[in-house]
Structure 1
């Protein structure tokens, strides 16, 4: 490890959550982990403070840090809190209401009372959507009606009057010919030099005007604030003497530059959760367990992803919705629910016992934090049950007040329901576990995946306290706890490759494509490859280290949506049959059937450029010498388990356990960033890197 880090500069991964900011540092002297509270008013303050603190912990000059990889929830939070920029929009005459109409889909088919997010929370208000005369003709992309430039300038005058600083430009058929969108952008920047401008043809050059317009609108909605945050963070790092390259985790599991993410923040809407999935997949490799279900439980939310055979899945573009709005950006396949350590328990107006999705966050935080919070949370319930030790949080650096937890659970839950404080706390844990189990099933069973063939991998600060209960609920094989559960998402940031993607609409019959059609497809593929290569070049990646993959998105003639198929570097009349066969195979895999004799259409080409980053590798720990794991025993305290039994339960310092050590439950494994619960009837076995497998005794 030291040799690897000596050859290369130090690197830091920083993952910002709703409650804590997690950091991991890889340098010549080893790997260091750290947590600091998230500064909600400006996350960059906490990031800089955390970077300086972890460098001090390692006695490292911050100037020696080569790269900082950052997972951020800034863009995500904007969509959740609905506080993005007021946008203006220029669109084709007659199509002003595309964003309102959508696809005529009902979010809840059989309910008369439902919310339509794209109408109740529009990304661009109707009064700010201005239609102008222009028309590109299909299918060839010829100019049918020239752009009315005077109308564009008049719209800009209206935008200035309404103090709009973000503009969306989405014209019909611009995916065939973007001339009008590009000219409109030039005019907007002449009239409004400081405007943040998004073209639909730049962020989603594909068919389907609603999804394309929605993607462009989302980019402009989150763009100004996200760009400000990223550039502010970069400036604050420079001001603190940190000259590192700053890279940002994208929703697809790859990393990119600040400039690219500031221009296209739609690619970092799921930045935070993506790092956890990548980190979980890497931990699975170390544990020799290819089938895992990652459950990243932080202070605010739980992010769940199913990884079969070690392959991280990317969602189909038709399924990528953010806050109810379609966004055509590649994203790792995961489910997020409001379930975390800070999730608030309450009795609703009907007398129902509920937990989440509202969270106490870090300010004021759970009642036990002593920062003014009076509502009981999941963390408070864990303390009441004796599963979290108030004097051991974050290695003792965060002092918690157990009495405040007991009062909150008693006053808000136990007394209203006429039950004991212990029963109320158990109820909070059971409800939150059930909510997460339902989400796990939606990402596995509902998609034809059997959890019995998978291991649950819980991480995040709260994850390992829930791992065994979740495995029981979904009948998973066992539980794998990562080396540093509370920092796993940050670790994943240092195991991610650079990644860029570009698309182009190429609507051609593939089965019957002649030499002319094949030549045109190759020309568009070459242009896409050049775009991706230019971004990798700008990032300083040697051509020899660059990898560019082409993907064909195809469908049967007349079908509604596309599936990905393998695409050769150069398409020929001879090898096009291989693309068609790849599509048939993918269709059969996804739907259980295919039509080998049917016509196949090529709809979109996608170029994916990547460069492999240096992987952070955890060192192997000392193998047990046959001595008792009691060397790691700290003390014992009374702890209440899910079956209602309260038992004297030993605490073990996880850092002092050796590979091969076995600990029978009841037991609690304590470390700085997280706490692992081993219930009665379960056995925890320490693996070679310090990760832990928990399974039922006799299983």
Structure 2
């Protein structure tokens, strides 16, 4: 087995995790938003240095079996509305109104007035009206155009339009505007879901394509043996050329979901809620029977789409969230300082107060060990920012101001969990992300939870979760209910598509697992059931789905025991507003325990064990905290 590498590109930091099946190593680098290829390469350089003591990319790349990669670029582009203007061409005013009303703000940002409605006759016969409509959309500023027709003949009409439009606007011409035909992307779901899936995909496609192919080309320069794999929001991976842009949306948080499901099942923990705290947001997921709920038809910023999405909620509270006092109250976010200029303590020109500054002032963070010792923090700048924006306005000294910031910050996160936690008081809080372990006890106390699990790879946990993904494709065929042998014909067609698809990935179908399911329309969504060989004759829209999976080797997990066998000895004292015993995670053994208040730290995260809590190290090297 060669090296398996997974990379999670976040808005502030980019994480990498690598395993050879027995041991696992990890590293971080600062995200370079001006050129994501730069931090992609820097992650590999950091990994190379950790493995061999020097930066030797050809040697590292030659040892890699697979690189799986996720990026927040798509999610950030949608949140920030940074992308191309999309033209929408349809034959139905009602379809247009439905799409606009489903997500008005997003429609205005993505499409605006770049819309044209042609007559049904033009849609069915591909007349000059259709060509003129596309010309007007291009003239009005559309750089990509979605064609979405309505009715039972939508597929046939879009195929006819495709033939006519490519005759009028040949794709080989310089400056040709890309056309996306909605029924080629998806045929399942409501017409509004089909339209929005197409519009979002068209919006994300250019930037994702440019960056991902640049990253893959970098690997080719160093003689990579296999293509770059993209981790998707369904929890599995495919090569760049087989990835649809919309499937990259929210793929980073999905890595944390996959990692959480693996770890909770490993420990036999059925009920849990996770907080993935980064620099800008906290992503929250609820685990029932160690599994996060998945909507077959999800929503993106309120827009209905026909792709499955896990139930992950994001709130504007992270280590870089701007905290200030207004009207006698402390407000947290949602604005963030990002990686540039960053918190005041980064000494990169930032002057806003953040939770990172508060943790530094409280002595929870050490200015010289932050980010593996590669970034020295400035405590004086942090103190000035805290006093200017919180302490002085509220008449509080530095220590009290920093504590008040922590209470407001933890309270904002806990407020989202409190209702669920009240119904599940014995559930576990799974805390990860670079800032998650520092806040785990504070959030748990305010939410009413008594058990916390901190993974040993908490700081790179989304990258860690990506390492449990397989290569997977899915294919769908509509079942004709009044036709004998519909299932057999659909299975044969899907199996042939799967054979060709996996061959493009470099695998024979015999190496893969095939899972069939029947999807039956249920309101605006679908119910999924295993294929039993039967198809009732009710006049309901039904599809056969084939998921074909090529398993990849996974990270080996350690023991599940978490009994207390030895009281640990601190490796030092961290001085702050109070002196806290300090433990190094890499020096602790399974069964080691100690009471709070204290700190448990590794290169990229710090766990704050508060008064009234006790930590113990599990057989897998993770931390369990009990109140």
Question: Structure 1 451/518 Cα, relative in aligned 2: closer, same or farther at 3 Å?
Answer: farther
Aligned positions of 1:311-326 closer than 5 A = 311-317=291-297, 320-326=298-304
Offset of residue 234 of structure 1: 1.2
Offset of residue 452 of structure 1: 1.9
Q: Deviations over 1:477-530 (max 9, x none)?
A: 41111011101111111111223234455586xxxxxxx356335544554454
Question: Structure 1 231/441 Cα, relative in aligned 2: closer, same or farther at 3 Å?
Answer: farther
Partner Cα distance (1:162, 1:243) in 2: 45
1:195 matches 2:177: yes
Aligned with 2:571: secondary structure?
strand
Equivalent residue, structure 2, for 1:295: 275
For 1:614, which of 543, 550, 553 is the aligned residue? 553
Question: Structure 1 624/44 Cα, relative in aligned 2: closer, same or farther at 3 Å?
Answer: same
Equivalent residue, structure 1, for 2:571: 634
Equivalent residue, structure 1, for 2:56: none
Question: Structure 1 570/386 Cα, relative in aligned 2: closer, same or farther at 3 Å?
Answer: same
1:567 matches 2:560: no
Q: Deviations over 1:448-475 (max 9, x none)?
A: x933242111001101111122222232
Q: Deviations over 1:16-52 (max 9, x none)?
A: 1111100012137832110000001121210111112
Residue range with higher mean Cα deviation, 411-420 or 367-376: 411-420
Aligned positions of 1:177-216 closer than 5 A = 178-190=155-167, 191=169, 193=171, 194-216=176-198
Aligned positions of 1:305-316 closer than 5 A = 305-316=285-296
1:57 matches 2:50: yes
Contact 1:343 1:377 (C-alpha < 8 Å) held by counterparts: yes
Equivalent residue, structure 1, for 2:40: 47
Question: Structure 1 452/153 Cα, relative in aligned 2: closer, same or farther at 3 Å?
Answer: same
For 2:358, which of 371, 378, 381 is the aligned residue? 381
Aligned with 2:125: secondary structure?
coil
Equivalent residue, structure 2, for 1:171: 149
For 1:549, which of 515, 540, 544 is the aligned residue? 515
Contact 2:7 2:14 (C-alpha < 8 Å) held by counterparts: yes
Equivalent residue, structure 2, for 1:109: none
Question: Structure 1 336/660 Cα, relative in aligned 2: closer, same or farther at 3 Å?
Answer: same
1:539 matches 2:501: no
Contact 1:551 1:606 (C-alpha < 8 Å) held by counterparts: yes
1:224 matches 2:206: yes
1:677 matches 2:608: yes
Offset of residue 661 of structure 1: 0.7
Aligned positions of 1:660-671 closer than 5 A = 660-671=591-602
1:493 matches 2:462: no
Equivalent residue, structure 1, for 2:334: 357
Offset of residue 433 of structure 1: 1.5
Offset of residue 293 of structure 1: 1.6
Partner Cα distance (1:466, 1:600) in 2: 53
Offset of residue 676 of structure 1: 0.6
1:459 matches 2:442: no
Aligned with 2:286: secondary structure?
strand
Residue range with higher mean Cα deviation, 47-56 or 235-244: 235-244
Contact 1:253 1:332 (C-alpha < 8 Å) held by counterparts: no
Equivalent residue, structure 2, for 1:427: 404
Contact 2:75 2:250 (C-alpha < 8 Å) held by counterparts: yes
Contact 1:132 1:148 (C-alpha < 8 Å) held by counterparts: no
Residue range with higher mean Cα deviation, 185-194 or 205-214: 185-194
Equivalent residue, structure 1, for 2:120: 134
Stretches of structure 2 lacking an aligned partner (at least 5 in a row): 53-58
Partner Cα distance (1:491, 1:101) in 2: 39
Aligned with 2:449: secondary structure?
coil
For 1:417, which of 375, 394, 415 is the aligned residue? 394
For 2:111, which of 116, 124, 135 is the aligned residue? 124
Contact 2:266 2:560 (C-alpha < 8 Å) held by counterparts: no
Aligned with 1:659: secondary structure?
coil
Using structure 2 for the length normalisation, give the TM-score: 0.91
Partner Cα distance (1:123, 1:547) in 2: 39
Question: Structure 1 496/28 Cα, relative in aligned 2: closer, same or farther at 3 Å?
Answer: closer
Offset of residue 600 of structure 1: 8.9
Residue range with higher mean Cα deviation, 243-252 or 495-504: 495-504
Contact 1:96 1:129 (C-alpha < 8 Å) held by counterparts: no
Contact 2:498 2:509 (C-alpha < 8 Å) held by counterparts: no
Partner Cα distance (1:453, 1:197) in 2: 53
Let me know the Cα RMSD of the aligned residues.
2.8
Q: Deviations over 1:233-283 (max 9, x none)?
A: 11223235545421111111111220122xx21111111111111112222
Partner Cα distance (1:507, 1:378) in 2: 57
Equivalent residue, structure 2, for 1:473: 446
Aligned with 1:681: secondary structure?
coil
1:649 matches 2:580: yes
Contact 1:247 1:256 (C-alpha < 8 Å) held by counterparts: yes
Partner Cα distance (1:53, 1:172) in 2: 51
Partner Cα distance (1:520, 1:610) in 2: 24
Partner Cα distance (2:465, 2:292) in 1: 12
Contact 2:418 2:448 (C-alpha < 8 Å) held by counterparts: no
Offset of residue 98 of structure 1: 2.9
Offset of residue 476 of structure 1: 2.6
Partner Cα distance (2:100, 2:338) in 1: 36
Using structure 1 for the length normalisation, give the TM-score: 0.82
Partner Cα distance (1:623, 1:605) in 2: 45
Question: Structure 1 689/94 Cα, relative in aligned 2: closer, same or farther at 3 Å?
Answer: closer
Partner Cα distance (1:230, 1:282) in 2: 28
Partner Cα distance (1:403, 1:377) in 2: 14
Contact 1:499 1:611 (C-alpha < 8 Å) held by counterparts: yes
Count of residue correspondences: 616
Partner Cα distance (1:551, 1:436) in 2: 38
Partner Cα distance (1:258, 1:429) in 2: 42
Contact 1:433 1:469 (C-alpha < 8 Å) held by counterparts: yes
Equivalent residue, structure 2, for 1:5: none
